[in-house]
Amino acid sequence: MTQVRIFLLAWGAIVLLAGCEYAVAADVEAGKALAEGCAGCHGANGVSQTPLTPSLAGEPDEFVQWQLVYFRSGARKSEVMRPIAEALHNEEIRNLGAYYASLPPPKPQPTSASDALAQSGERLAARHRCKSCHSDDYSGFRAAARLAGQREDVLLKALREFKTGTRVGSGVASMADVTYELNDSDMQALAHFMATRP
């Protein structure tokens, strides 16, 4: 019996040590260096000025990582992003996720208290429980994107893609369920509301 315990302890130690490769913290500075190649589209400091290109600053680490993995595998379609993601190793993906998560998020699109479109979007966000996945302030959580302050055109494009099924989320059909009942005016209101959140 003692030999069995020793074997099991030794085997457990081997498995634990083998898994330590994944326990190494991401290198934010390495991510910053790698992100220099992303700045042409996603903007300096991760704040995009390019139409239909998302800001990555302040996005949750896991969200950035998963999106790169989806692009790399072809689960998320993009002629631009797929070859870029295919060239990235897992460690580089972890570093990019950590870097973008460390940046301050973009400033929200200006709005007024009487912005009827934003008010409509706020009601839709409450009815469709957007806070359940994207957190109470829409800053994102784990693999769920930060919506607050994102470019309005990017948010609208994403909602339309989820509605048509050309883009899938990591939740079990959660975004398909959310967008199922939305018409285009609803999606415009939601995108506008989220873009104006701090």
What's residue 169's pLDDT? 75
Query: What pairs with residue 141 in β-bridges?
Result: 144
142's torsion region: left (phi>0), alpha (psi -120 to 50) or beta?
left
CATH of 25-102, one of 3.40.1190.20, 3.30.930.10, 3.20.20.70, 1.10.760.10: 1.10.760.10
Residue ranges of the domains in the chain? Answer: 25-102, 116-195
- The one-letter amino acid code at 162 reads F
Class of domain 116-195: mainly alpha
CB contact set of 9 (below 8 Å; sequence gap of 6+):
none
25-102 shares its CATH topology with 116-195: yes
Residue pair 61/26 in contact (Cβ under 8 Å)? The answer is: yes
Tens of pLDDT, residue by residue, the chain (198 residues)? 454 444 444 444 444 444 444 557 999 999 999 999 999 999 999 999 999 999 999 999 999 999 999 999 999 999 999 999 999 999 999 999 999 999 999 999 898 889 999 999 999 999 999 999 999 999 999 999 999 999 999 999 999 999 999 998 776 568 988 899 999 999 999 999 999 999
User: Alpha helices, DSSP H only, in the chain?
Assistant: 2-19, 28-35, 39-42, 61-73, 81-86, 90-102, 116-127, 131-134, 152-164, 174-180, 184-195
- pLDDT, tens digit (0-9, with 9 covering 90-100), for 26-39: 999 999 999 999 99
What's residue 171's pLDDT? 64
140's torsion region: left (phi>0), alpha (psi -120 to 50) or beta?
left
